[in-house]
Structure 1
Amino acid sequence: MKYRHIVWIVIGILLIDQIVKYWIKTNMALNESFPVFGSWFQIHFIENEGMAYGLKFGGEFGKIALTLFRLVAVIVGFFYMKKLVREKYHTGLLICGAQILAGAAGNLIDSMFYGMIFSESTNSTVAQFLPAAGGYGTFLHGNVVDMLYFPLIEGFFPKWVPFWGGEHFIFFRPIFNIADAAISVGVIAILIFQKRFLHKPGEEKEKPVGTQPALDDKIA
């Protein structure tokens, strides 16, 4: 696989991620939802200020730090992917790396620019793209758009369960986006196939040294 193939994978995932986010942002009010497949797969529009799957990180300063960390990670990631391509690592590792890189870049775009190019989304209003009055935030202060929701199982914990007995639960509760999914799929695939993916080209596997029969034994 060549480096340009990595770039095209990243661009493809980024385009899908950003097109979906743009449509959600300009067609749905905050917390609006609609079913895709029954009740177990829904499009549910939320925004978060922090990490993947709605996690947060240290308030205003933490948000800026996280955005800058993402920026550095994406830049370093492109150089590292070029190194892996040059050293001819396994194609599976390169594809997974491209997915992770694209996911990080997708959420980075939200954090860096969405506050500047969109008006605020609320429970009663749909955001506008490039509003005349300006965006809802400034550079590095955009919110990440999430929309994929899979409440596969919903119910109540049995009374005998410690701490959560009788409480309502939903599995899978987190709402995420295509960028998050790309990162998760890439990381999980690397963990599952790490022995194959992380084997450096040119490294010979050690072969067990067998006991060679003595020359006298062969003659005998």
Structure 2
Amino acid sequence: MKNALKYVLVLLLIILADQGSKLWVYGHMELGPNGHIKLFGNLFKLTYVLNYGMAFGIQLGFKYGKLCITLVRIAASMYIALHIIRAVARSAPRMWIWGWILVLGGAIGNGIDSVLYGVYLDNAPFDAPMKWFHGQVIDMIHLDFWSGIMPSWVPIWGGQEACVLPIFNIADVSIFLGLLFIFCYCKQVDAYEKKHKVPDMVV
């Protein structure tokens, strides 16, 4: 029970940190590259941008594509939460559980943007079929190793202004670190499964 409480508290901290940073950016920064705030020269700065699609701005090219993305985020978050509950009940390796906590916190953070921001921050695109479930995710962490106009032959981003690393947010960082944890501790989980004969521990 004590460990379960720790997981819940860290999960809430991730969500609060993510949402707090996004709302601060929304209230204090100008949208677009001209309103950036330099933290470490041009290399590390805050740039307020909106992402209507998935990771790297990838979108589904039909009217209700965003709705599908949002519903998948919700379903994935629910499944991961159930998976974590089962893993905690079975006393699975802690670092592996922490990895899934990080992934869940990031998924919920970006899911909140998709579900609510179109209504409460009015940031759904003008041509969106509805505001609910069509909110745009707020990104701001900008590691600017290189930026410029992509060649026209590059799929999806050809002819558009882009940078080497996409602009991201705390939720994205949490998901990345969580997946890294999960990958690093897969062998521990395999050993746990063999020892305790649990065939369906890993998703």
- TM value normalised by structure 1: 0.73
Query: Corresponding residue for 1:42?
Result: 45
* Counterpart residue number, 2:157: none
Matched, 1:84 2:76: no
Match runs of 1:59-70 below 5 Å: 59-70=62-73
Instruction: Say if 1:198 and 1:14 are closer, same or farther in 2 by CA, change over 3 A.
Output: farther
- 2-structure distance, mates of 1:103, 1:170: 24
Tell me which amino acid in the other structure corresponds to 1:88: S
Does structure 2 conserve the Cα–Cα contact (< 8 Å) formed by 1:152 and 1:170? no
Return the match for 2:98 from 90, 95, 99: 95
Corresponding residue number in structure 1 for 2:192: 200
- Structure 1 segments unaligned to the other structure (5+ residues): 122-136, 156-162, 205-220
Alpha-carbon distance in structure 2 between the residues aligned to 1:117 and 1:11: 21
Aligned counterparts of 2:49 and 2:25: Cα–Cα separation in 1: 10
Which is helix-richer, 1 or 2?
2
Name structure 2 gaps, 5 residues minimum. 125-129, 155-160, 197-203
Task: In structure 1, give the amino acid aligned to 2:24.
Answer: W
**Which residue of structure 2 lines up, in the alignment, with residue 30 of structure 1?**
31
Tell me the distance in 1 between the aligned counterparts of 2:58 and 2:140.
15
In the superposition, the TM-score normalised over structure 2's length comes to 0.79
Q: 1:58 to 1:42 in 2, by over 3 A?
A: same
Q: Contact conserved, 1:146 with 1:176, CA < 8 A, in 2?
A: yes
Q: Superposition RMSD on alpha carbons, in Å?
A: 2.9
Aligned residue in 1 for 2:134: 141
SS at match of 2:79: helix
Distance in 1 separating the partners of 2:164 and 2:80:
30
* Rounded Cα–Cα distance in structure 1 between residues aligned with 2:116 and 2:47: 22
The reply on whether 1:73 has 2:65 as its aligned counterpart is no
Structure label with greater radius of gyration: 1
Q: Percent identity, aligned pairs only?
A: 29
Q: 1:110 aligns with which of 93, 109, 113?
A: 113
Alignment length (residue pairs): 183
